[in-house]
Amino acid sequence: MQDRHVDDLTLIGYFQVQRSMIKVAEDSVKLGAHSDTSFSVGSLRAARRAAGAVQHAVDCVLIGRNRNAFCVVRPPGHHAGINGLLDGGESCGFCIFNSVAAGAMHAISDERLLCERCAIVDIDVHHGNGTEEIVRKCHDPGKLFFFSIHLYDNDRKGKKETKSFQYKFYPGTGDEDDVALNIINVPITPLWKEDKAAGGGSAHNTRTRTRQQRSSRESDDGSDGGTPKGGNSDTESDAGASKGSSAPSTPNNPHPTSGRMAYRKAIQNRLLPALRAFNPDLILISAGFDACRGDVGNAKHEFGTKEKMGIDLEPEDYAWTTRKVLEIADICCQGRVVSVLEGGYGRTPANAEPGDHTAALDKSAFSDCALRHIHAMIDPYDTEARFGTASKDL
d(CA 310, CA 300): 7
pLDDT of residue 129: 96
User: Is there a cis peptide before residue 251, judged by omega within 30 degrees of 0?
Assistant: no
Residue 232 region, left (φ>0) first, then alpha (ψ -120 to 50), else beta? alpha
pLDDT of residue 87: 77
pLDDT of residue 61: 97
What is the per-residue burial (b if ≥16 Cβ within 10 Å, else e) of 19-49? eeeeebeeeeebeeeebebbbeeebeeebee
pLDDT of residue 252: 52
What is the per-residue burial (b if ≥16 Cβ within 10 Å, else e) of 359-388? eebbeebbebbbebbbbbbeebeebbeebe
d(CA 67, CA 326): 11
pLDDT of residue 229: 40
pLDDT of residue 2: 36
pLDDT of residue 306: 79
The reported pTM is 0.79
Q: For 48-62, write each residue's pLDDT tens digit.
A: 999 999 999 999 999
pLDDT beneath 70, residues of the chain: 1-36, 158-165, 195-255, 304, 354-357, 384, 387-394
Which residues, including other chains, have CB under 8 Å from residue 168's CB and lie 6 or more apart? 153, 154, 155, 156
Side-chain-side CA neighbours of 288 within 13 Å: the count stands at 31
d(CA 319, CA 316): 5
Dihedral angle sign, alpha carbons of residues 35, 193, 237, 211: negative
Alpha-carbon torsion, ordered 62, 150, 309, 36, to 10 deg: 80
d(CA 287, CA 81): 18
d(CA 88, CA 156): 13
pLDDT of residue 94: 87
Taking alpha carbons only, the member of 270, 243, 261, 372 closest to residue 328 is 270
